[in-house]
Structure 1
Amino acid sequence: MSEPSHRRWAALQAGALLLVAIGAQPVRAGILDDDEARRQVKDLSIKTSERFDTVSKGQIELANQTQALREENAHLRGQIETLTYELDSAKKRQQDFYIDLDGRLRKLEAPLTASVEAKPAEENKAAAEAPRKPASDPAIETREYEAALNLFRAKKVKEAAAAFDAFAKAHPDSTLTPSAYYWLGNAHYALGDCKKAIDAQRVVVSKWPANPKAPEALLNVATCQHELADARGAKGTLETLVAKYPESTAAVTARQRLKK
């Protein structure tokens, strides 16, 4: 082969190798791009799985918390129902106690009424000379008083309060009027008005200090003062109760409260 021919052949071979090299470069780049894509897909899949696991754990934890709240809510509802029942029972026991106490105190009032009626002749003569008031009918008074008390027994406290107030105003000199004021105070207390309750109970203490209901009225005053956050006033009332009526049942309760 001549020198020029040899050179041309070498040039052709070099060109062919160059073309092969140029054609092979995109193929290798394509292979590398596919590997990178697969790696990224794998990484994304791993991250997605991790996020899914995190979300699943969060949902499980949220479900557990929700169940715990439901159980706690049910427990609290049960406690509320129990406390409501106990409160209603306590109110009923207190009401029954008041009514029973009223019956026992009225038995004690009978001898007091008899002693008042058996006055010396001089006092009777002086009373006869004084202007006479229209004679009251004990039977009517008793019916009105019992009607008011029955309203209280039936838990118609608002109506009972109005009935006792009307009785006290209509029969200011009745032997049942101290009891009417006493129950008026209890009715106001049941209605949540401690100030009016105190006013009614103090009428009993001031006008009829020898009445069997006077110690109980003082005890009720102390109870209302305590609920009104008047601790000093409540203590003073209890001390007065113990001093004035040391042998009364109310004084026993007052001593117990003073020890606390």
Structure 2
Amino acid sequence: MQRLTLRWWLAVACALLALGASAAHAALFEDDEARRAILEMRQRIDQLQQGSQRSGDDSAQLRRSLLDLQAQIESLRGDLADLRGQNEKLRRDVTDLQQRQKDVAKSVDDRLRKFEPETVQVDGREFKAEPAEKNDYEAALAVFRTGKFADAATAFQGFVGKYPQSGYLPSARFWLGNAQYATRAYQAAIDNFKALLASAPDHARAPEAALSIANCQVELKDTKGARKTLEDLIRVYPQSEAATAAKERLSRLK
């Protein structure tokens, strides 16, 4: 629109100049008003040309500004893409860290469980036992079951000394006494069986322990002591299988 207006004014100016020139040539510039009109028209044309030049400069500046703005937008897009990539990496890192924390926590829990007491049942009794305590008892019993009685006696003796307050203690003394009996350590066996009866007379192994004391006394040629032990067994534990066996033994003692 601006270019169209400028061309129109230029055309008009040229026509007026031509007209003015013709009139001036004919009248020898005697018409002052015509000269003033021409001067005004020339000033107007100069102003239009200057405005057109300024408009062109403004357009160029605007184009440069737009190009700069576009470059900044592209740069921001690149920065945004980088930030998105960093954010995704951070999200993955956080996920990995959380998983490692869970793994560490599980590992710690598993290790703690290895040291936490657990409920066990042995010979009709239920009690709490440390994992190491349970392992030592079961290891000693496993040796006894292989028939290595001397090694079993050593293992159970070590258990009794290491865990004097253990819930396994009556059972450990029972098996220790049997291992000692098997190795002919009769008096040591009697001492352990008596210790069982003194500390846990209601233990499931107590009647058997009493019968084993009598057997050890027989091996030691202590017939009188064996008879007394068997009679006490029948009296204290009359419903036990050991009491039935004790009656048979009494009938054979002389």
Q: What is the TM-score of this pair, normalised by structure 2? A: 0.49
Structure whose alpha-carbon radius of gyration is higher: 2
Q: What is the TM-score of this pair, normalised by structure 1? A: 0.48
